[in-house]
């Protein structure tokens, strides 16, 4: 299936389609849909270009689209039917329904404006013989579905998934969401679909505008900071969770920029300041931070040694060093130097360290 998609250039397909039209109809469609390197034009702007009314522009656009839909694609050797078959395969894979954004993510091979605009044009204006495009459903993106798919049922299931996530109050992975969903009355609807249940759930979640996933693959409400973080500290938190290990603040900044949360660039100094001020993070080495939720404690190496000896009693140096290294990313010599503080630590006759 992937090989077929890679043979289709949507820009070339659209250029071939538009070549079948008179010059004016072709140019109107190009400008209205930002095709062939044209920026998107309003009806008024195109009317001014041709010295005609907006309504006349609209009629030319309508006539051009009607002609495109009546073309014999097979005779022209255009891969429209191939693309429809590919989309049918994907719809079957995802339970008979997908959001248009989801479909575009899969179909688009080249992340260029020309390819995306061309694919948008084909989806919106050329296809639709054996598949249905549904617009205007409140709180949902544009939907593509198989004719046999019961849209009301599908939307009910998507609504149920939304309610589960909202009630849980925290982002959920698909597998965890499924565990909670299995006891729901709508689970039977999904279980009877001819597709992998994980794929169906993903497709249904992607239908709704008020749900989104984060970099951990968890789903939640779109406005949650654990889904779409805006503050630098929230972005850092998701990065730390994903990497699952302590990180230097400069590495956190770099990973934030790579993640592409938004266009705002993360600078190491800014990230460092955020991590210092937020008690979710603990400094565990030189510029290295960990999450407090991982069990790390505040304090200097001396403080950590004190906490360990308070909890565990006297320890031989080897065991004490191992315990400290669970809390701090420091050299063993740093721990040795800390143990030389005779005002705090002393050695017993059997060689163990204890608190003074």
Q: Which residues of the chain have pLDDT under 50?
A: 1-6
Tokens 């939907």 belong to: 143
Domain final residue, candidates 294, 315, 330: 294
The confidence score (pLDDT) of residue 7 equals: 62
Q: CA neighbours within 13 Å on the CB side: how many for 12?
A: 8
Are residues 163 and 172 in contact, defined by beta-carbon separation less than 8 angstroms?
Answer: no
Residues 251, 213, 137, 35, CA torsion sign:
positive
Rounded-to-integer distance, Cα 257 and Cα 264, Å: 8
Rounded-to-integer distance, Cα 333 and Cα 339, Å: 10
Rounded-to-integer distance, Cα 100 and Cα 199, Å: 16
Whether 223 is covered by a domain: the verdict is no
CATH assignment at residue 306: 1.10.10
Whether 10 is covered by a domain: the verdict is no
Cα 42 to chain centroid, rounded: 32
* Main-chain dihedrals φ then ψ at residue 84, nearest 5 degrees: -60, -40
Cα 311 to chain centroid, rounded: 43
What is the tally of structural domains in the chain?
A: 5
Whether 203 is covered by a domain: the verdict is yes
Whether 13 is covered by a domain: the verdict is no
**pLDDT tens sequence across 136-160:** 999 999 999 999 999 999 999 999 9
Domain final residue, candidates 36, 69, 102: 69
The confidence score (pLDDT) of residue 111 equals: 79
Instruction: Clarify whether residues 139 and 158 are in a common domain.
Output: no
Rounded-to-integer distance, Cα 58 and Cα 30, Å: 13
Residues 18, 21, 22, 25, CA torsion sign:
negative
- Given strand 247-248, what is the order of strands in its sheet? 247-248, 288-291, 281-285
Whether 15 is covered by a domain: the verdict is no
First-to-last alpha carbon distance for the chain, in angstroms, is 71
**pLDDT tens sequence across 182-202:** 999 999 999 988 899 999 999
Domain carrying residue 42:
21-69
The confidence score (pLDDT) of residue 109 equals: 81
The confidence score (pLDDT) of residue 37 equals: 86
Comparing CA positions, the residue from 201, 156, 160 lying closest to residue 184 is 160
Beta bridge partners of 212: 220
Domain final residue, candidates 121, 145, 169: 145
């Amino acid at each position: 299936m992937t090989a077929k998609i890679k043979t289709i250039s949507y820009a070339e397909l659209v250029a071939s389609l538009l070549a079948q039209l008179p010059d004016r109809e072709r140019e109107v469609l190009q400008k209205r849909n930002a095709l062939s390197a044209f920026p998107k034009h309003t009806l008024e702007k195109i009317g001014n270009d041709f010295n005609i009314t907006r309504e006349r522009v609209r009629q030319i656009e309508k006539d051009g689209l009607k002609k495109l839909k009546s073309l014999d694609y097979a005779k022209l050797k255009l891969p429209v039917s191939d693309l429809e078959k590919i989309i049918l395969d994907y719809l079957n894979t995802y339970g008979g329904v997908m959001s248009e954004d989801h479909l575009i993510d899969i179909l688009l091979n080249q992340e260029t404006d020309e390819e995306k605009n061309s694919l948008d044009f084909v989806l919106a204006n050329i296809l639709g013989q054996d598949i249905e495009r549904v617009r205007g459903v409140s709180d949902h993106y544009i939907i593509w579905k198989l004719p046999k798919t019961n849209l009301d049922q599908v939307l009910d299931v998507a609504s149920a998934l939304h309610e589960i996530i909202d009630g849980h109050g925290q982002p959920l992975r698909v597998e965890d969401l499924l565990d909670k969903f299995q006891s729901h009355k709508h689970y039977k609807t999904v279980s009877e679909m001819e597709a992998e249940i994980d794929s169906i759930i993903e497709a249904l979640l992607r239908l709704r505008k008020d749900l989104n996933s984060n970099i951990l693959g968890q789903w939640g409400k779109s406005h949650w900071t654990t889904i779409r973080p805006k503050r630098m500290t929230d972005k850092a938190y998701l990065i730390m969770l994903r990497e699952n290990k302590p990180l230097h603040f400069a590495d956190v900044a770099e990973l934030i920029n790579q993640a592409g949360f938004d266009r705002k660039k993360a600078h190491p100094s800014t990230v460092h300041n955020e991590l210092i001020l937020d008690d979710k993070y603990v400094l565990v080495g030189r510029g290295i931070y960990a999450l407090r939720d991982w069990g790390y404690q505040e304090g200097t190496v001396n403080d950590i040694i004190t906490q360990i000896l308070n909890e565990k009693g006297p320890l031989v140096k080897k065991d004490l060093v191992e315990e400290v290294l669970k809390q701090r990313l420091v050299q063993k010599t740093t721990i040795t130097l800390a143990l030389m503080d005779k005002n705090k630590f002393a050695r017993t006759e059997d060689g163990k360290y204890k608190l003074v």
